Structure 1
C-alpha cells in the first residue's frame, strides 16, 4: 500500500475513533448507572481498535511526523490494555477507571509535547491542541484520584474524559493533516523550517 493510502486510512481511522470516543463519552454522562454494566466491554473493544489505528498511523510516515510520532508504542499499549480489560473484566473492574485515567493522561501528555513541537514547525493552531490536551489531562488525573468518591460521579467524569479525548483526536488530525479531493496528502497549515 502506498504511503498516501496508509495515511488516508490512518487519518480517517483517527476521525472515526474520535467520533466513537465522543459518543461513548456522551453515553457515559447521560446514563452512568446503565453504563456500568457494559463499560468494560465497550472500552476494551474501543482501546483495541484505537491501538490498531495508532499503529497504522505510525507506519504511514506522515511528512512532518507530528500526528503519529508516538503511536507505535502507545498503540501496542492500547491494544494490550484493551485485551486485558476484556479478558479480565471482572477482576479489573474496580481498577478500570484508574486504567482509563492513566491512558487518557498519558495520551494528553504526549499531545502536549506534540503541540510544542508543532509550534517549532510553525503550525498556527498548535495552541488549540495544547489547550485541549491540558484539559483532557486534567480529567485523566481526576480519574486517578477519584475526588467524587462514588461510582456514578466517577462514570460521569469518565464520560467527560472520553469526550475530551475524542475532541483532542479531532484537533490533532484536522490541524495537522488533510486530504485533497484527489486523495493526495497535503497539510492543513504551512510549516516553515525552523532556524531559516
Structure 2
C-alpha cells in the first residue's frame, strides 16, 4: 500500500514537472538547448579532467599516457566551449540541413522549369514544393536556430498538454474513487443498521 501511495505521489510530481518544463520551453525555446549544452559540455569536461588526472598520476611507462594527455585537453576544451556556447551544436546541425535543403530545392526548381519548358501542364506540382524547400533552406542558413526553437516550442506544447491531461485525469480518478468509497461506507453503515 505504501509503495502504491509513493507511485501516485511520483505521478503527481512527474505531471507537474511536465507542465513546468512545457511552459518553460514555450516561453524560452532555447532553454532546453542551453540545459543540454551545459550537461553534455559538463560531461565532456569531466571526462577530459579524468583523462588529465590519469595522465599525471599514471605510470610513465604506460604507452597510452600520451594519448590521455591529448584526449584530456581536447575533451576539456570542447566541454568548456559547449558549456559557454551551448547553441553552437544546434547551429551546426541547422546549417548542414539548411545547405542540403537549399541545394536540393534549387536542383528540383531547375528540373521543374525544364519540365515546364517541355510543355508539361503539371510542372507547378514539382515547382512549388521545390521552391518552398529552397526557401526553408535559406531561412535555416540565415537563422540556424529556427528549426531548433520551432521543435522546442512543439515539444513544450506536447509536454504541457500531457502534464495537464495527466493531472486532470488523475483528479477525475481520485474523485471517482473517493465517491465510490463514500457510497460503500454509506451502504456498509445502512447494512449494519438493518442487521441490528
Q: TM-score range by the shorter chain?
A: 0.3 to 0.5
- TM-score, structure 1 normalization: 0.33
- TM-score, structure 2 normalization: 0.33
**Structure with bigger gyration radius:** 2
Structure with higher helix content: 2
